[in-house]
Every structure is written in structure tokens, then in C-alpha cells.
Amino acid sequence: MNVFVFKSELWTAQYTGIKVNTLAAFTRVLKEIDDDTIYYHLYRNLFEYHFLPTDYGNSFAYWMAENGFPVLAEKFSAIDLIECVCISDLREAMLNILHSGIDGFERICKPFYFIRAVRKVVDTGVRAKDIEEFKEGLNKVGVHSLFHHLVTSRLVHGEPTNDFSRWLRSIGEEEKADRIEKIDLMAYSLYEVRDRILRILES
């Protein structure tokens, strides 16, 4: 029997000791910095602020907007985090935007502090053997469990699907798996995502 194990992830933050105050320095650091730092800055909004109507999608974009680069901020904000399945693709996407002819590369800005995500995955102890138990499980776990299975899992497996859909397919629920895969995680809060998944499972 294929049992679904609900996991979740917890984050704290560690300062890398690197701060920059020009776009040029930012670009140089972005080329080299570790994946956990990019992960922190790009996904933190989705992880922490998903329930609030914030202006920009990630902290890179916020810094750019605050320092007079609104177009860059918009472009960085529009990076679809769910389409990418590895950090190196995201890094490349960001560098491409930065290399697309921006003025003011050397202008002094407010500092940007690079922070690394310190993450820990925990087993929540919640299990599901069938759809009914899966629905119960979804209601028992915190929203960071959804983040783990819908967002992080794509990066972990390097596949354009998520743990929920993968499991549903394994028990023959192809259509439900497809519909969950199509939910736009960038457009809804994780609480709304949970409601949508529950509706799909009940349909």
C-alpha cells in the first residue's frame, strides 16, 4: 500500500556576512552565492507572507524597487518560482534580467544583506492511505507542510510536479493530480491553496 507521509519544513535565517550597495556588486554576488541563499530570498515571500497582499514577490525585488529600479523589481517579481525545478535555472533567469541593459549599475544604493535559509524537514507523524485520510491529513498539518510538498519537492526531485500529485497518480487519481498541479501557487495564499486542494479531492 502506498502511504503518504506528511512532512513539513521549518526555517530560520543566517546572515552570510555579505552585503552589497550597488547593482553591480549584487550581480557579482548573485553569480557565486550558495543555493540556500537564493532560495531564502526568492521563496521567503511565498513561505512567510503568502497571506498578505504584498507589492513584490521576493526580497530582491523589494530592494530594487526601494532603490529606484522599478522595472527590474517588476521583472524579478514576475519570475515564476513554480515553473523552475532547480535553483541554477532561477539564478540564470535573474542574471539574464540583470544583463538586459540596465542603467545605474554603479549607483550607490541602500545595502542589501544576503541571508541564507537554515532549513529543517520534520515528519509531522500524519499519514494517509487513501483519499479520505489524505483530506484529514491536509486539515491536520500546518501550511508549511503544503509549502514543502508543493514547492520544495519540485526542487528536491528536479521534476515539474509535486508530492501530492505524484502520490495521487500512484493510487490512480490521475485527474485530481493534474488539477492540483495546475493551481497557481503564486496567486493564492497557502490557506487558499489548501481549500482548493480539498475541493478538488471532494469533487
Partner 1 sequence: MFEEYAKYIDVGTLNELSKLAEELKGVRVLHVNSTKMGGGVAEILHRMVPLMNELGIETRWEVIKGDIEFFKVTKKIHNLLHMPGRESLSHQDIITYMRHTYENVAAIDTDYYDVIFIHDPQPLGLIVKKREGQKWIWRCHIDVSTPDEETWKFLEMFVNGYDGGIFHIPEFVREGVRIPAFIIPPSIDPLHDKNIPLEEGFIRETLERFGIDPERPIVLQVSRFDRLKDPFGVIEAYRIVKRRYDCQLVLAGSFADDDPEGAQVYREVLEAKGGDEDIFVLNLPPDSHREINALQRSATVVVQKSIREGFGLVVSEAMWKGKPVVGSNIGGIRRQIINGVTGYLVSSIEGTAYRVKQLLANDKSREEMGRNAHLRVKHSFLITRHLKDYLLVIHRLLKNP
Cβ–Cβ < 8 Å for 132, 202: no
For residue 118, give the C-alpha cell: 537554515
User: ∠ CA(86), CA(58), CA(177), 5° rounding?
Assistant: 50
| Rounded least distance, CB 122 to partner 1, Å | 4
Burial of 15 (0-12, 13-18, 19+ CB in 10 A): exposed
Task: Select from 1, 2, 52, 158 the one that contacts partner 1 (CB under 8 A).
Answer: 52
Task: Extract the runs of DSSP E, i.e. beta strands, from 21-158.
Answer: 112-128
Task: Select from 31, 34, 49, 88 the one that contacts partner 1 (CB under 8 A).
Answer: 49
| Residues 110-149 close enough to bind partner 1 by CB under 8 A | 111, 113, 115, 118, 120, 122-125, 140-145
| Rounded least distance, CB 195 to partner 1, Å | 14
Alpha-carbon gap, residue 163 to 173, rounded angstroms = 13
Instruction: Specify the residue, 10 or 95, whose C-beta has the smaller distance to partner 1.
Output: 10
Cβ–Cβ < 8 Å for 154, 164: no
| Rounded least distance, CB 174 to partner 1, Å | 28
Q: Does residue 68 touch partner 1 according to CB under 8 A?
A: no
Burial of 73 (0-12, 13-18, 19+ CB in 10 A): buried
Instruction: Specify the residue, 117 or 185, whose C-beta has the smaller distance to partner 1.
Output: 117
Contacts with partner 1 by CB under 8 A: the residue count is: 31
| Rounded least distance, CB 182 to partner 1, Å | 25
In 3D space, the residue among 95, 96, 120, 113 whose CA is nearest the CA of residue 30 turns out to be 95
Alpha-carbon gap, residue 185 to 151, rounded angstroms = 8
Instruction: Specify the residue, 8 or 152, whose C-beta has the smaller distance to partner 1.
Output: 8
Q: Does residue 21 touch partner 1 according to CB under 8 A?
A: no
Instruction: Specify the residue, 169 or 196, whose C-beta has the smaller distance to partner 1.
Output: 196
Q: Does residue 105 touch partner 1 according to CB under 8 A?
A: no
Residues in the site for partner 1, rule: CB under 8 A?
A: 8, 10-15, 17, 19, 48-49, 51-55, 111, 113, 115, 118, 120, 122-125, 140-145
